[in-house]
Structure 1
Amino acid sequence: MPSANGGGPGRAILYARVSTDEQARSGYSLAQQMEALRDYAAREGYEVMEEVSDPGQSGASMERPGMDRVRDLVAAGGVAVVLAQDRDRFAREPAYHYLLRREFEERGTAIRAMNDRGDGSPEGELTDGILDQLAKFERAKTAERTRRGKQRKVREGKIVASRAAFGFDYNAARDGYVVSPEQMGVVRRIFRMAGVERTTIYAIRRHLEEAGLTTPSGKPKWDASFVRGLLLNDLYKPHTFEEIRRIVSPGVAARLDPGARYGVWWSGRRSFERKRVSRDGPDGRQYKFEYKVKERPPEDRIGVPVPDPGIPREWVDAARATVRGNRRPANAGRREWELSGGILRCAECNRAMSARSHSKPKRDYFYYCCSAGASDKPHICTVSKNHRAEDLEARTWEAASEILKDPGRLRAGLDEMIERERSGGGRGDPAAEARTWADRLAEVGRKRDGYLDLAADGIVGRAELRAKLAALEETRETAERELDALRRRTERLEGIERDRDGLIETYAALVPEAIDALGSEERHRVYKMMGLKALLGADGALELSGDVIGFPKNGISSS
C-alpha cells in the first residue's frame, strides 16, 4: 500500500471498532485489530500518533465517541493516514465511508484499510466502491434470510424470542411456552387488582414492591409502563379455539384442543427504530440512543397460541378498561385529590377537571377547574371558574358513603342495575339469544355443505352457487357480529356482578364510622370500583352516575 502523503509514511491514527457488547467486554476483537494495525504501521514505517477504539459501537451510525475523536484529531492537522483493519470498521454504509474520505482528504489525510483492493486511482476507488456495495447487499440478503426463517418458524406455531415472557418458561425444545406457576401467580394477582379491585397502576406497583416481589429481571422496583403493558398483552387473555383458528394456519389449528383456551404471542407486533445521537453538554459530548416504537396493524402480525394462563376473561377485559381510564390521582400541592384521574369532568366540554393549588402565607388553597377553560380556550370550553376541592369532595363522598353504609340499599341498587343491563332494553336473555345465533351459524354451515354437494352433482350451476354462497356468507357475518356483541354484553354483566361482589365484600361489613374514616386514596379507589363519573356545572351543580350503581339525579344536583 502506498504512503498517504507521498513524501514518507508520516503520522497515523489506528482505529478499531466492535459492535457487540460481548466483544466489547471480552476485548478480544479489539486487541486483535490493534495488534494487526501496530504490525502493519511498523512494517510501513508509520509513526503511531494515537490508538482509538470504539467498543460496542455500531458501524451503521456516525455518532461514535471513538470516531468523533478521530475526526477531531484529523481536523487539528498533522495526520497523514487513519488506519483500520477492514473497511467496514470505519462504517457499514458506503455513503458514510465516502463522507469520511472526503472530510479527511480536505485535511490532507488518507483513510486506509488493510483489506483495500484498490491502489488509490479512480479505477481502484471504483473497485472498492463496487465491493462495498456488494458487501452491503450480502448483509441485507443475510438479514432477509434470517427474517424469513423466523417467520417460517412462527407460522409453524413456534415462538422465536430471546427471553420467555413473564409468567411463562420455555418448553424443552425452546420453541414454545409452558406456564410458570410462581410467576403466573404474580400475574394473576396484578390482573385481579386491576380488574376486580380497580386498583390504579401506580398502586399496583407500590403493592408489588411492598410485598417484596421482584421484577422479571430480579429488581425490587417495578416500572408502571411494564405493568400497563402486561395488562394489555394478549398472552394473558384467554381466547377460544374459534378466535385462535382465525389467526393461525390450518396446520397449527389442527394441533389444538377445540375445547381449550389459549393466549396469543404476537410476532411483529411492534416495529423498532434505533438511532444513535450525540449532544454537547456541560460534561462534554454525550451519546445516547433514540428509539421509535410503532404498533403494526393486525394484518402485519403473526399469532402463536400459548397455554391458557388461567386468568378469567372478565378480569382481563375489566383490567383493560381500567387501564384505558386509568390516570394517577393528582398530588398537586402535596395532597391526594379524590376526584382526579378522570372522575370529575366538566359538564360543558366533558374534559377531566384538573387539580390546582394556591399557596398563601397562612394556608394553601385547593381547587378543581376545567383544563380547557382555565387554559383560555373558549373555542373548546368557556368555563374558567375554580371550585373548592374540599367542598366538591365532601359532597361526592356524602352521596357515595350513604350507599356504602346501607348494605341492603347497596345490594338492591346493584341487583337492579344488573337486571336492567341483563334485560338490555327489551332485547331478551343474552344466553338464549346466543343459542339462537349459534344455531343459525350451524344452519349456515349445513346449507353451505348442501349447496356444494348439489354443485358437485351438476344440479346447481356455477352462477347460482356463487349467489347462494354469497347470501350464506352475509348471514354468517351477521350471526358472528351479533354473537360478538352478545359476548361483550355478557362480559359487561359479569364485570358488574364482580364489582358488586367486590364492593359488598370490602365495604358492606364496615361500620359507618369506619367508612367515614376512609382516607382520600381509599375513597378514590371506591369511586373507581363504582365506575363513578361526576359532571360539574359552571354553577357548581354536581351530577353523579356510575357503571356499578346508579345515583339519583336529585341527590346532589346543586351546591
Structure 2
Amino acid sequence: MIDGARGQIKDNRVPSKIDGRYYELSGGVLRCRECGRAMGVFRRRRSDGSYFSYYRCRPSIGADACDNRKSHSVEQVEHEAASMFETYASTDTLIRLYDETVERENGRDGLRSALQRQAALPERMGVLANMRRNFQGQQAEGLMTLPELKERLVEIDEEQAAISGELRAAEDATEAAQRIEAARYSLVHAEWYEDPDAIQPGEVLTHATSPENIRKAYKRFGARFTVDAEGTLTMGPELDLGEVPKSLQEKRTSSGVATR
C-alpha cells in the first residue's frame, strides 16, 4: 500500500502560480520530451511593459544539461493540450467532466433553475409598473405630494434598473445552460465529430472552469503531456482513451500516443 501511494505521488509537483493565476500544465503535467523534467513557467517583460508567459525546460548545468531551450507560449500550448485531451479522452471521461462542471457552476438543477430565475424577474417588473401607476394616481387625487411621488418613483427606477441587469444575466445563464445540455447530448450521441455544426466538447469541458480545475482534471484522469524542441506536443497513453471514432483514428500513432 505504501509503495502504491509513493507511486501515485512521485511525479507530483506544486503547480505554478504567478500573479494569482494557476497554469494548467504546471506541476509536472507538461514535461520536456528531451530530458523528462517538468517544464517550468517563466515570464518575460516586453518593450511595451506587458508580460509574455511561456513554458520552458528548467535550466540545468553540467552533464545533465538539456538541449531543449525552446520557449512555448502558455496560451498556445494550453489550448493545444485542451483540444488534444478533448479529442482523445473517452466519452465516459468527458461526460463525467461535463456533469461535474455543470453541477459546480449551475447547481444540480442546471437549466430548470436558470429558467425559473428568468421567469421570476419579468413578474417583478410588472409589479413595479403597477406600483408606478398607483403612486401617480394617488398624487393626482391629492393623496400624495409631488416630492413624495418623486421619491417613490426614484426607488422604483433604481429597482427596475437592477432587475434589468439581473434579467440580462439570467438570460445569459439560461443560454449557457441550454448550450451545456445540447453539448452533452451531442457528446452522448457521438454527433460532435460527425456533424461539423455540432457543439464541440471543448466548449463545455472548460466552461467557466479555472486553470486550477483544468489542471486537476488532467491529474485525476492521468493526462500527461510532453513537448520537444520543435514544439510538437504529445499526450501520453495514461489517459483512458476509450474507443476512438474512425474519423479520428488517423491522428493516432502506432504506439497509441496522440500527437499534434
| TM-score, normalising length: structure 2 | 0.48
Relative to its length, the structure with more strand (as a share) is 1
Larger RCO: Structure 1 or Structure 2 (Cα < 8 Å, ≥ 6 residues apart)?
A: 2
| TM-score, normalising length: structure 1 | 0.24
Structure of higher CA gyration radius: 1
